[in-house]
Amino acid sequence: MTLPADDPPSKRRLFPWGCEDLDDNPQMSGKDATQGPYTLSGPVPRPDAARMPIRGDLAHIAFAGRYFVPHYVVPQPRAVMPGGAPVLAAPAEGADEVCTLMEGDSFEVLDLSGAWAWGCLGPEGPVGYVHIDRLEPVN
């Protein structure tokens, strides 16, 4: 459906590439639009930030489809260097220690900021920050 250009803005097509056909698409209209694994069905319980790698801006890819965030991250595995490394609750020296990683342990990096890597031991946690000089790529 194409309307003449002299029609008022309220009568013009919102999307010139043809989205006026959405009502004809069973996946995008009526009752069918609310079916499937990704429906907005109401609030979900807030995840435990200390155990689940989910923040307001990103989440571990394992939570895609369960929690809505702008970005889902495929973790980058890193190995803990000799001497081990503390996992901290905040990106600062002296922050509360969540746990201690031993040499060779795997840490899943989800975000890097300054000298800190934010990540987890796995999708079920624990979650925290490790100083990047304590991590090396996995071979």
Could you tell me which residue, 30 or 108, shows the higher pLDDT?
A: 108
- Going by the DSSP 8-state scheme, the letter that residue 14 receives in this structure is S
Structural domains present in the chain = 1-35 (no CATH), 58-137 (2.30.30.40)
The pTM for the full model equals 0.70
As beta bridge partners, residue 60 has 73
The answer to whether the beta carbons of residues 83 and 131 sit under 8 Å apart is: no
Q: How does pLDDT run across 65-122, given as a tens digit for each residue? A: 888 899 999 999 999 999 999 999 999 999 999 999 999 999 999 999 999 999 999 9
Closest by Cα among 71, 81, 77, 82 to 122: 77
DSSP one-letter string for 38-64: T---S--PPP-TTTS-B-SSEEEGGGB
